[in-house]
Each structure stands twice: as structure tokens, then as C-alpha cells.
């Protein structure tokens, strides 16, 4: 007697299509390759000509299905590339024959090695002026990527993603690698997979993009990913068509999560973990503190994560010392449109609002215009980063004129503090406003009411000299604080 399809006593294995991730540097042809394979024209529609989110697609070659994951090449999207790699079976390392190995190429090699998946090198743009395939092969040897016939076992294929030359052979290599891997799944086993992306659609609700790796996901079933859970209300395939079920290796969009699942979370029949709340700073920065304060909004969780990390890393790239200015505070970050609530938060904190591939509601626009709140909104990550770098450079030009290290606290006079210290840098002037730095943070400001060197009043005190001062500030100065003049 045949047992029911979902019987716990009979679970059979079935061949699973390979999941392939394409990695490489910006403008080396990853999306163009997928365009040729799918006979579409996604690359021309990408903002700025670059892929800025993970896309997943399914194609058929010689009667066999292959699922592709396209990842961004821009430096900001490191985690997204790694995430795509760790849920894939096979990797494709794209290198342009007229350009060579770039920093993102090296990073891709590192990610592929760490994920321990087999990969194929696709040397692209072989028909362009300046193409030098032998140079690419030699560069790979220097990076310890040894190709077949060059002392190693890494398969490679020379291609032109634009004309399609060599693409069919590349797909053959993918299917051959999949045969070696012996990829299988249990159609009636528990549903598993990975969340590639998630977003909040104002009309439909929370939508998650996932890759199924085992089982069959059906409408009406309960679903979980980390702390997020719900019931599947609707499923769509990678072309946006409504479907009733999705099987292993299928890219699918899921509608029905009650809260936003985290990218990288594993898909399961139920909630499987408790999420960790994002760490918050102990206190918000002062409104007038010399810093860039940002309220961040993005279209999807992956973009939000990438942009947040990139913004917080800008200071390290622009400033030689953490003692320099300014600091960056991300006051709040979330997936979704920019609303009047965001503008109100910006008004209270003195922050600017940064939106990546999001919309700004009419109410938010009107309030921001009336309150002179700055909103930077772009669909191209280069533009956002460039604008923020310009803001940081302007604050950087607010040069440090002098630093006073506090060595002693003598008491108070008429509510003002009597303190002593040593000038460690530059010069301090009487009757000037100074920033107060405690550790790595600016905690407030104050004004010198009277400056003395020895027991004499002074208008200035230079580097290396000790001084005393009567200081007016709402903050209580402590030994070890540094007062900074600009």
C-alpha cells in the first residue's frame, strides 16, 4: 500500500537544481551575463548601472534548471555578497579581461574560499579592446587561484556576456559541477531555506525573498525565520507570477510574515530563535554637537544593513585619528518610506534624513520644507556616500586650534567651575567657547570666563603650558576631560 505523500514513514530523495552565486567587481559584467542568459535587459534599468540588491533568477539549460543569485559589486555590499555565497552550491567568479583583479575581486575570492563551495572563473569581456586573458590567468596564480591546465583544479571559461560567446559552455560547466556535488533534497521533508532579502510594501505588507533548499513550501502553511513568523498568504516566483507552491532551489517571494525577517535567517516551519535588538547608544548626541546625525531609511533590509555599515565606516577613511572630528550618529534606521514622523525626529535631534531607494511622503516633504530639514534621497549608493563625505569634509575643515587636558578640579564660583590643566596642542584663548570631550564622545560645550597662567590673567596660553580657568558649562568637568578650541 502506498503511503500518503507527506507520510513521516516514507521520505524519498530527489535531484535538486544547483544554486549559483555570481561574484566579482563593479562593472565586470555579472548582471549583463544574467541578462543574456535570461534574454532580459535588467542591467540598463539598474540605478547607476550597478546592482544594489540581491536578485535571484531561475533558468533552464539543456533541460536542467539552474538558480542564479546576482550580488552587488560595490564595496558597501560585502555582507550581501557573503550571504549570497553561503546559501549557494556553486560560485562564479567574474573578472573582466580588460580590467583585471580589483579589491572587490580579491574580497570575492576570500568569501568563496571561506564558504568552501566549488567555483568557476568566468573571464568576461574577451572581445573588448585591451582584453588580456593571459594577464588575468597570471594574476589569479598570484592570488593562489590555480586554474585547470595551469597547475590547479579550478575550472574557467572565457566569455562575452554581451554577445553570448562561451556562455553555453559556462552553463555546461555549472551542470557538470552540480553532478559532482550530487545535490538532493526531500520533497516531502521539512521546509528549509534562506532569507535573501526583506522589505515592507506599504500596500501588501512584509515581503521576504527566499531560496528554498529542502521540502515544498505551500500557501497556507506556517513559516518562520529567526524570530519572525506567520502564515503564507501568497507566493510569487522570480517573475512575479502567483504560484501555489515552491520547491528546493526555487527563488520565491513570500507574503505573510508578521514582522520583518532578518536577511540571512534560515527559513523553517516555525520561529526558531529570538532576535537580538540592535544595540543603541547610551544617549542621543546633543543637537548642537559637531557631528553628522542621520536618520536612515532604505527599501530593503540588505540595503539598510550595507548603507548603515558604510556610513559608520566613513569617519575611519576620512580622518587619521579618532580624536579628530566629526562623529557620525545613526539616530534611527528602518526599512520603509520617509514619513513626517521621521522629519519630527530630525527636528528634535538636528539630524539629516538619508533615504536609499525609498519614497518621501507628501506630508514629510511639506514638514521638511517648512522646518528646513535636509533630506538626501537617491537610488545610487555612490551619490549618497559622496554627499555624506562632502558633509564630513566640511566639518573636518573646522580645524582644532587647541586642546586643554584637564588635570585638576578646584571647585565652583557663582555656579561656574574652577579647573586646571595643560595645553597639549595649539593654543587656548580667553573668552572662547570650547567643546568638551570625554573619552571618544563630545558631551557638550562651555565658555572660558577667565583664563590665568600662573596667577596672572592671560589672553592666550600656548602648547606645553599649564593654566587655570573659570569655566561656564552645564556639564560638570572631570579630570581626564579634554577641552577643544576651534
Q: What is the 3-state secondary structure (H, E, C) of 162-188?
A: CCCCCHHHHHHHHHHHHHHHCCEECCC
Give pLDDT tens digits for 117-165.
899 999 999 999 989 999 999 999 999 999 988 888 899 999 999 999 9
- H helix or E strand, kind and range, residue 385: helix 381-396
Q: Which CATH superfamily is domain 291-396 in?
A: Translation initiation factor IF- 2, domain 3 (3.40.50.10050)
The answer to whether the beta carbons of residues 405 and 422 sit under 8 Å apart is yes
Domains 14-184 and 192-268 alike in fold = no
Considering only the top CATH level, what class is 402-485? Answer: mainly beta
CA distance 477 to 473: 8
Give pLDDT tens digits for 305-356.
777 777 777 655 555 544 455 567 788 888 888 888 788 888 777 788 888 8
Other Cβ atoms within 10 Å of 74 Cβ, number: 21
Q: What is the DSSP string of 243-288?
A: ESEEETT-EEEEEEESS-PPTTPEEESS---PPPPPP--SSPPPTT
Give the residue from 163, 2, 204, 197 showing the smallest Cα distance to 87.
Answer: 197
Burial of 30 (0-12, 13-18, 19+ CB in 10 A): buried
Give pLDDT tens digits for 166-215.
999 999 999 999 999 889 888 888 888 888 888 887 788 888 888 888 88
Dihedral sign from CA coordinates of 97, 102, 108, 114 = positive
CA distance 315 to 281: 17
- Who has greater pLDDT, 195 or 423? 423
Domain boundaries, the chain: 14-184, 192-268, 291-396, 402-485
Give pLDDT tens digits for 70-119.
765 444 445 555 666 777 899 999 999 999 999 889 988 988 888 888 99
Cα-atom radius of gyration of the chain, to the nearest Å? Answer: 28
| pTM for the predicted model, two decimal places | 0.58
Burial of 248 (0-12, 13-18, 19+ CB in 10 A): buried
Give pLDDT tens digits for 229-262.
889 999 988 878 889 999 988 888 899 998 888 7
pLDDT at 286: 47
The answer to whether the beta carbons of residues 292 and 349 sit under 8 Å apart is no
- H helix or E strand, kind and range, residue 111: helix 103-115
Q: Does domain 14-184 have CATH number 3.90.1170.20?
A: no
Whose grid coordinates read 554627499? Answer: 387
% of the chain at pLDDT higher than 90: 29
Fold of 192-268: Elongation Factor Tu (Ef-tu); domain 3 (2.40.30)
Amino acid at each position: 500500500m502506498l503511503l500518503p505523500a507527506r507520510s513521516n514513514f516514507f521520505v524519498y530523495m530527489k535531484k535538486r537544481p544547483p544554486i549559483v552565486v555570481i561574484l566579482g567587481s563593479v562593472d565586470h559584467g555579472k548582471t549583463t551575463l544574467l541578462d543574456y542568459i535570461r534574454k532580459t535587459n535588467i542591467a540598463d534599468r539598474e540605478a547607476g548601472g550597478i546592482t544594489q540588491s540581491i536578485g535571484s533568477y531561475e533558468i533552464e539549460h539543456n533541460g536542467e534548471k539552474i538558480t542564479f543569485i546576482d550580488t552587488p559589486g560595490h564595496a558597501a555590499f560585502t555582507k550581501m555578497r557573503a550571504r549570497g555565497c553561503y546559501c549557494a552550491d556553486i560560485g562564479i567568479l567574474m573578472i573582466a579581461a580588460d580590467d583585471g583583479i580589483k579589491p572587490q575581486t580579491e574580497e570575492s575570492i576570500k568569501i568563496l574560499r571561506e564558504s568552501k563551495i566549488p567555483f568557476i572563473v568566468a573571464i568576461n569581456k574577451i572581445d573588448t579592446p585591451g582584453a588580456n586573458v593571459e594577464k588575468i590567468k597570471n594574476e589569479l596564480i598570484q592570488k593562489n587561484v590555480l586554474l585547470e591546465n595551469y597547475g590547479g583544479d579550478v575550472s574557467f571559461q572565457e566569455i562575452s556576456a554581451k554577445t553570448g560567446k562561451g556562455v553555453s559552455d559556462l552553463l555546461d560547466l555549472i551542470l557538470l559541477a552540480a553532478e559532482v556535488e550530487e545535490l538532493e533534497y526531500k520533497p516531502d521533508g521539512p521546509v528549509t531555506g534562506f532569507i535573501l532579502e526583506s522589505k515592507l510594501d506599504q500596500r501588501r505588507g512584509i515581503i521576504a525573498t527566499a531560496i528554498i533548499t529542502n521540502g515544498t513550501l505551500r500557501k497556507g502553511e506556517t513559516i518562520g525565520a529567526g524570530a519572525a513568523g506567520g502564515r503564507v498568504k501568497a507566493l510569487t516566483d522570480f517573475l512575479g507570477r502567483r504560484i501555489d507552491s515552491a520547491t528546493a532551489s526555487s527563488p520565491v517571494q513570500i507574503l505573510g510574515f508578521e514582522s520583518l525577517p532578518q536577511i540571512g535567517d534560515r527559513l523553517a516551519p516555525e520561529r526558531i530563535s529570538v532576535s537580538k535588538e540592535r544595540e543603541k547608544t547610551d544617549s542621543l548626541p546633543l543637537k548642537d554637537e559637531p557631528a553628522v546625525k542621520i536618520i536612515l531609511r532604505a527599501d530593503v533590509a540588505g540595503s539598510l544593513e550595507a548603507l548603515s555599515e558604510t556610513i559608520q565606516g566613513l569617519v575611519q577613511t576620512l580622518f587619521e585619528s579618532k580624536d579628530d572630528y566629526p562623529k557620525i550618529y545613526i539616530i534611527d534606521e528602518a526599512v520603509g518610506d520617509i514619513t513626517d514622523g521621521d522629519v519630527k525626529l530630525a527636528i528634535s535631534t538636528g539630524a539629516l534624513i538619508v533615504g536609499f531607494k525609498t519614497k518621501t511622503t507628501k506630508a514629510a516633504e511639506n514638514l521638511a520644507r517648512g522646518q528646513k530639514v535636509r533630506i538626501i534621497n537617491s537610488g545610487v549608493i555612490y551619490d549618497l556616500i559622496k554627499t555624506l563625505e562632502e558633509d564630513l569634509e566640511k566639518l573636518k575643515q573646522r580645524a582644532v586650534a587647541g586642546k586643554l587636558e584637564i588635570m585638576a578640579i578646584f571647585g565652583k564660583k557663582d555656579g561656574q567651575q574652577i579647573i586646571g590643566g595643560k595645553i597639549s596642542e595649539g593654543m587656548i584663548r580667553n573668552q572662547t567657547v570650547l567643546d568638551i570631550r570625554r573619552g571618544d564622545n563630545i558631551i557638550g560645550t562651555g565658555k572660558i570666563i577667565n583664563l590665568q597662567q600662573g596667577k596672572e590673567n592671560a589672553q592666550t596660553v600656548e602648547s606645553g603650558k599649564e593654566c587655570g580657568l573659570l569655566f561656564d558649562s552645564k556639564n560638570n568637568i572631570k579630570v581626564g576631560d579634554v577641552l577643544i578650541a576651534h
